[in-house]
């Protein structure tokens, strides 16, 4: 089952082919980020799959995993093939699926081979083989599987990253040093990529180390951990104290939880946190993270549990996903964490610094900020990270750099108060922070860490911030929300506090909806006093977030001694939407899947309740409700989408399976065909966003469809009935239709031979034992759909008869993969083509000459937006003009402006080059690639383009002048020509849309010794003539051509064709 290859994207990359085997043992083939084919695992023939794609992620969920996924017991990421590839969990990179399996507290963990205990979260980590055996162990084997006894939840053991976007005096640390506080006697755990103990600033700093990764040792081969550790506790020895860390006398526990690429599995990080806490770390620095969700994930749970059990303070980076709201990552999102954002040298919030509120409950995060822009600290011995400043030091930016400033400050405070818990350290650091008047609490928490004030802080508050939550719309009858705020006096004398609230509304203007139960309180020495903080959203004049701080001051004039962030959200106009799911008897059913996708907002939610009725709160707007109701004994799938869900009032929606009608396709009479793939679904597009769905089955009789309402204005929907059949004689029948504007209520079609176009597919030869995989996928007239196809093994060389539908302007794009075992070596794809019924067409693949091809696509193969140039050129297209990508041994793509190198990538024909000067200038793009021994034709290809480019206004890409020369000789079936004879080489100069252009100039040279020497060839009417030597075995070709505007291309193809 396969989807069409993507056109060049805004972020180009070299062609990628991935196979991803799921926990269930099912295998998904992915090309250029799109799922193309699904192969059921051993013993799972006939399995139905639900697939959908949205916002760059594609999910493929087998039917027997649906119940566990929708109830939250099975991590949905286990079926997000995009994320699995991103984490390096595809088949080319690892042979297992890493899991975290939780169990009920007090009960033994499931018996799994090789499991590692994660006691703080009542779980084990295990590497599950991809044969499906672990899936069988963890589930009960029924059609709608349940977890086996003793299994609470099955998580993907995903990856978290070091939080790197590419100081000490600013936070007042020298004042603490002068007072005698240097971190002596305090232990800080740095859980990162390891620490380079050979750096003079970090020599003799460690008191323990442990490697939790799959790297062979504890050495920091990335550099992130060394930089972080030196900000915490570096002595500055190599710089005579200039680049001294915050707590330069503190001891370091070095826990390597991130690998040599700066990423680490979640179980490694949990294990490192447990180790640090049990080793007695006072402070733990975690300059790492990943995306947060509304659930409490294993890392958040570990932070909260270990903080409570050991009194450890976990100082964690907020993340570098700003400036958008709700971008604080996990585990910084943990309640107990002291979460750190980044500021620059002027205390301005860094654009990259992640912002709150926290996902799910609107709580205040981050808690505090620290310097995180251009921070100079130790450079590890490999010396490859950041922007080196002087010998042994480099500059880096990110909340990764801000976090160790706060961890160091906590160490100084822990030296001052050795009996304090992490919670007390957090409270003092928060209460003493210095806010930026131009930033909200969701950007900065309490403000930038201020070490001198923290050291002397005698008053703290609990909680460290007052989050009053979200009050539901409408707001004319809102009840006030009140929380208690307790002040603790750490000194002996009583303290009289004057209290006030400083707050602003969504537009930044002062707000008066907060109040206090008292404006003056007395906090006794060593004691506490409590005040109530109330938010009354009836007093607000706009919907959105209201935030500020409770300011405590003392004396006359008032000296501010504590600031406690406070926030409340007036919910924007929102409504309750209740979905009730009815089975084929009209009764509510728990066997359904629902997905709500915002068409004019970012909502992406999976509501579910076991009783068949679920209510979800949604902001006013337009939504797609993607609904599937399963009936019978779990084998019948009713697709019942609602693409026109306009939420402007409370809604009750019935999703009734009885409205759906069957799908039936009858192939031409007299054919002996077997259905290899039924792909039923639809695509929705609104503006620049889209959603695609697919029910993948080997039995169309199990699928029924309908649509509950029309799509709203500005939104298009296209239904899809895609059936692919294989004949006993090896033939292929693509019987597919698209229904513009709707998902049909049932679909029935009987096909005659006269309805079909015929493709005579012919596949060229390969070397050794390479095999071919043939696929063909339909697309509607506008070319926009989420479509799968069956990938069929074919012999190379070989032929196949193919028959495809042609109604309503449907087009077909087909492909051929060349593989050695499970490794794909090359991929060829034809341009989208519309055929006529009753006609016959050639479809040739994998024939020489192989070289650059640029057929017409939605985006140019090279384009500029603003001052950024993107290129993605297929260097190994075949002689028929199909695009071609290949594995390579070595490659590079470089952009020059004049003689100056602008940038380079290690990819063949692909690169992004930013920050170009806006003026019109001449550029030279050079790409080269050498293929491995598996290829004996076009063993290497080089192309060089010269063109002029300048700034492009707006967001629409403007193509640059990339032309290619294609050679079209009449070669034999084995891609050879006769030696010792004169031979014609027809040429074609094509532009970036595959159209022939008239050359302004063109030359061709041939080499018969692999490119060592070259001979110029005569050209007449775009046909070059070459005389083949009798003793040569191959011909290499080099050509230089310019179009009428002077845009030039030079191509060199070594071993373009063979001689016999």
Encode pLDDT of 501-553 as tens digits.
Answer: 999 999 888 899 999 999 999 999 999 999 999 999 999 889 999 999 999 99
- The band of 55, judged by pLDDT with boundaries at 50, 70 and 90, is confident
Instruction: Give pTM, 2 decimals.
Output: 0.90
> How far, CA to CA in Å, does 159 sit from each of 82, 270, 352, 434, 542?
13, 12, 21, 34, 40
CB 159 within 8 A of CB 290: yes
Phi and psi at residue 233, to the nearest 5°: -145, 20
d(CA 693, CA 684): 9
Per-residue pLDDT tens digits for 567-619: 999 999 999 999 999 999 999 999 999 999 999 999 999 999 999 999 999 99
DSSP 331-395: TTTSTTSEEEEEE-TTSPBPTTS---SPTTT------EEEE-SSEEEEPPTT--SSEEEETTEEE
Q: What average pLDDT does this structure show over 182-202?
A: 96
Determine the pLDDT at residue 7: 33
Domain ranges of the chain: 17-157, 183-456, 466-569, 573-659, 666-687+708-763+770-819+827-844, 862-1059
- The band of 141, judged by pLDDT with boundaries at 50, 70 and 90, is confident
DSSP 1029-1052: -TT--EEEEEEEEE-TT--EEEEE
CB 1003 within 8 A of CB 1039: yes
d(CA 114, CA 54): 36
d(CA 352, CA 320): 5
Pick the closest to residue 701 from 748, 640, 751, 642 (CA basis): 748
Per-residue pLDDT tens digits for 938-979: 999 999 999 999 999 998 999 999 999 999 999 999 999 999
H-assigned helices in 432-589: 441-444, 451-456
- The band of 783, judged by pLDDT with boundaries at 50, 70 and 90, is low
H/E element holding 982?
strand 982-990
d(CA 967, CA 880): 10
Residue of higher predicted confidence among 635 and 157: 157
Is the previous residue joined to 529 through a cis bond, with omega within 30 degrees of 0?
no
Q: What average pLDDT does this structure show over 627-654?
A: 95
The active-site residue, picked from 103, 224, 380, 626, is 224
892 catalytic? Reply is: no
Sheet holding 868-872, edge to edge: 910-913, 868-872, 862-865, 958-959
d(CA 811, CA 832): 6
Per-residue pLDDT tens digits for 565-581: 999 999 999 999 999 99
The structure tokens 């506790």 sit at 233
Determine the pLDDT at residue 978: 97
**Please, what CATH class does the domain formed by 573-659 belong to?**
mainly beta
Q: What average pLDDT does this structure show over 326-354?
A: 95
The active-site residue, picked from 120, 307, 321, 400, is 400
The active-site residue, picked from 26, 192, 297, 593, is 192
400 catalytic? Reply is: yes
Token pair for 377: 């600290």
Sheet holding 613-619, edge to edge: 613-619, 574-582, 651-656
Pick the closest to residue 800 from 829, 758, 839, 770 (CA basis): 758
Tell whether the model's pLDDT for residue 473 goes beyond 70: yes
- Percentage, residues of the chain above pLDDT 90: 86
Pick the closest to residue 696 from 584, 827, 806, 786 (CA basis): 786
The structure tokens 């069409």 sit at 4
- The answer to whether the 466-569 and 573-659 domains have the same CATH topology is yes
Determine the pLDDT at residue 164: 61
Q: 466-569 maps to which CATH number?
A: 2.60.40.2310
Beta-bridged to residue 541, according to DSSP, are none
- The band of 496, judged by pLDDT with boundaries at 50, 70 and 90, is very high
Q: How many residues does the chain have?
A: 1060
Among 239-248, 781-790, 859-868, the minimum mean pLDDT is found in 781-790
CB 351 within 8 A of CB 322: yes
Tell whether the model's pLDDT for residue 11 goes beyond 50: no
Token pair for 792: 């069929």
* Helices 422-431, 399-416: crossing angle, 10 deg rounding: 110
- The band of 558, judged by pLDDT with boundaries at 50, 70 and 90, is confident
What fold, for 183-456?
A: Rossmann fold (3.40.50)
Residue 241 Cα to chain centre, angstroms? 41
| Residue 689 burial (C-beta neighbours within 10 Å; 0-12, 13-18, 19+) | middle
Determine the pLDDT at residue 15: 58
192 catalytic? Reply is: yes
Q: Could you tell me where the beta strands, DSSP code E, fall in 83-169?
A: 96-102, 116-118, 123-129, 153-156, 159-162
Token pair for 1010: 């692999």
Tell whether the model's pLDDT for residue 177 goes beyond 90: no
Name every residue whose Cβ is closer than 8 Å to that of residue 494 and which is 6 or more positions away in sequence: 522, 523, 524, 525
């Amino acid at each position: 089952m396969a989807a069409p290859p993507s056109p060049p994207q805004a972020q180009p990359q070299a062609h990628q082919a991935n196979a991803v085997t799921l926990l269930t043992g099912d295998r998904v083939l992915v090309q250029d980020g799109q799922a193309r084919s699904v192969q059921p695992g051993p013993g799972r023939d006939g399995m139905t799959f639900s697939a959908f794609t949205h916002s760059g992620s594609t999910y493929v969920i087998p039917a027997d995993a649906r119940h566990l996924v929708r109830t939250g017991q099975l991590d949905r990421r286990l079926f997000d093939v995009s994320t699995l590839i991103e984490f390096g969990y595809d088949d080319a990179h690892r042979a297992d699926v890493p899991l975290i399996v939780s169990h009920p507290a007090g009960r033994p963990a499931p018996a799994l081979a090789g499991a590692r205990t994660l006691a703080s979260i009542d779980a084990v980590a295990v590497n599950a083989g991809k044969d499906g055996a672990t899936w069988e162990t963890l589930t009960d084997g029924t059609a709608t599987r349940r977890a086996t006894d003793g299994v609470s939840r099955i998580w993907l053991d995903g990856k978290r990253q070091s939080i790197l976007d590419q100081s000490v005096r600013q936070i007042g640390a020298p004042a603490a040093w002068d007072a005698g506080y240097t971190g002596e006697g305090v232990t800080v755990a740095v859980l990162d990529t390891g620490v380079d103990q050979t750096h003079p600033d970090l020599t003799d700093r460690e008191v323990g180390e442990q490697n939790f990764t799959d790297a062979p040792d504890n050495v920091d081969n990335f550099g992130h951990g060394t930089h972080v550790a030196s900000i915490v506790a570096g002595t500055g020895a190599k710089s005579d104290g200039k680049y001294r860390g915050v707590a330069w006398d503190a001891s370091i526990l070095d826990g390597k939880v991130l690998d040599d690429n700066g990423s680490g599995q979640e179980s490694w990080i949990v294990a490192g946190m447990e180790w640090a806490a049990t080793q007695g770390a006072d402070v733990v620095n975690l300059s790492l993270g990943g995306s947060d969700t509304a659930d409490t994930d294993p890392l958040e749970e570990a932070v909260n549990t270990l903080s409570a059990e050991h009194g450890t303070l976990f100082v964690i980076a907020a993340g570098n996903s700003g400036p958008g709201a709700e971008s604080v990552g996990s585990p910084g999102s943990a309640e107990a964490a002291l979460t750190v954002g980044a500021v620059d040298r002027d205390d301005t919030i860094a654009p990259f610094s992640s912002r709150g509120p926290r996902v799910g409950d609107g709580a205040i995060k981050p808690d505090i900020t620290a310097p995180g822009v251009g921070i100079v600290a130790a450079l590890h011995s490999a010396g490859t990270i950041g922007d080196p400043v002087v010998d042994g030091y480099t500059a880096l930016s990110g909340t990764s750099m801000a976090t160790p400033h706060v961890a160091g400050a906590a160490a100084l405070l822990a030296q001052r108060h050795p009996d304090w818990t992490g919670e007390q350290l957090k409270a003092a650091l928060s209460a003493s922070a210095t806010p930026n008047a131009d930033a909200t609490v969701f950007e900065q928490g309490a403000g930038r860490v201020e070490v001198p004030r923290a050291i002397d802080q005698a008053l703290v508050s609990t909680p460290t911030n007052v989050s009053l939550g979200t009050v539901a719309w409408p707001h004319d009858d809102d009840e006030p929300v009140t929380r208690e705020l307790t002040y603790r006096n750490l000194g002996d004398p009583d303290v009289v506090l004057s209290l006030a609230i400083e707050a602003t509304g969504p537009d930044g203007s002062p707000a008066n909806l907060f109040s206090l139960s008292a404006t003056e309180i007395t906090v006794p020495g060593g004691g506490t006093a409590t005040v109530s903080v109330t938010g009354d959203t009836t007093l607000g004049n706009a919907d959105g977030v209201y935030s500020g701080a409770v300011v405590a001051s003392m004396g006359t004039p008032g000296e501010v001694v504590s600031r406690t962030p406070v926030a409340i959200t007036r919910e924007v106009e929102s409504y309750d939407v209740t979905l009730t799911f009815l089975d084929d008897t009209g009764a509510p059913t728990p066997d359904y899947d629902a997905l709500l996708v915002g068409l004019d907002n970012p909502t992406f939610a999976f509501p579910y309740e076991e009783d068949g009725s679920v209510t979800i709160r949604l902001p006013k707007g337009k939504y797609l409700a993607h609904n599937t109701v399963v009936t019978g004994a779990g084998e019948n799938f009713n697709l019942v989408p609602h693409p026109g869900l306009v939420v402007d009032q409370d809604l009750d929606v019935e999703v009734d399976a009885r409205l759906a009608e069957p799908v039936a396709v009858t192939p031409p009479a007299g054919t002996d065909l077997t259905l290899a793939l039924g792909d039923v679904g639809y695509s929705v597009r609104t503006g620049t966003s889209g959603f695609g769905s697919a029910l993948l089955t080997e039995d169309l009789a199990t699928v029924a469809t309908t649509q509950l309402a029309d799509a709203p204005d500005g939104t298009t929907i296209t239904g899809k009935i895609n059936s692919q059949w294989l004949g006993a004689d090896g033939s292929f029948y693509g019987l597919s239709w698209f229904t513009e504007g709707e998902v049909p209520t049932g679909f029935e079609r009987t096909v005659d031979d006269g309805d079909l176009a015929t493709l005579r597919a012919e596949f060229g030869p390969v070397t050794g034992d390479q095999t071919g995989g043939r696929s063909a996928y339909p697309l509607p007239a506008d070319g926009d759909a989420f479509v799968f196809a069956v990938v069929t093994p074919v012999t190379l060389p070989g032929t196949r008869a193919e028959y495809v539908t042609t109604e309503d302007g449907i087009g077909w794009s087909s492909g051929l993969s060349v593989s050695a075992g499970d490794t794909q070596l090359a991929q060829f794809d034809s341009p989208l083509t519309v055929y006529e019924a009753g006609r016959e067409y050639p479809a040739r693949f994998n024939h020489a000459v192989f070289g650059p091809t640029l057929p017409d696509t939605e985006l140019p193969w090279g384009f500029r937006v603003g001052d950024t140039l993107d290129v993605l050129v297929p260097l190994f297209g075949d002689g028929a003009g199909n695009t071609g990508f290949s594995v390579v041994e070595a490659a590079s793509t470089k952009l020059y402006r004049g003689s100056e190198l602008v940038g380079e990538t290690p990819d063949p024909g692909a690169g992004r080059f930013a920050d170009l000067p806006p003026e019109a200038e001449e550029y030279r793009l050079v790409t080269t690639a050498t293929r491995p021994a598996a290829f004996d034709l076009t063993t290497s290809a080089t192309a060089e383009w010269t063109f002029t480019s300048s700034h492009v206004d707006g967001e629409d890409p403007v193509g640059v002048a990339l032309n290619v020369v294609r050679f079209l000789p009449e070669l034999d079936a084995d891609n050879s020509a006769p030696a010792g004879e004169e031979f014609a080489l027809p040429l074609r100069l094509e532009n970036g849309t595959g159209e022939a252009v008239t050359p302004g100039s063109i030359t061709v040279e041939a080499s018969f010794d692999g490119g060592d020497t070259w001979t110029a060839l005569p050209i007449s009417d775009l046909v070059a003539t070459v005389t083949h030597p009798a003793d040569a075995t191959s011909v290499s070709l080099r050509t230089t051509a310019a179009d009428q505007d002077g845009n030039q291309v030079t191509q060199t193809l070594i071993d373009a064709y063979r001689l016999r």
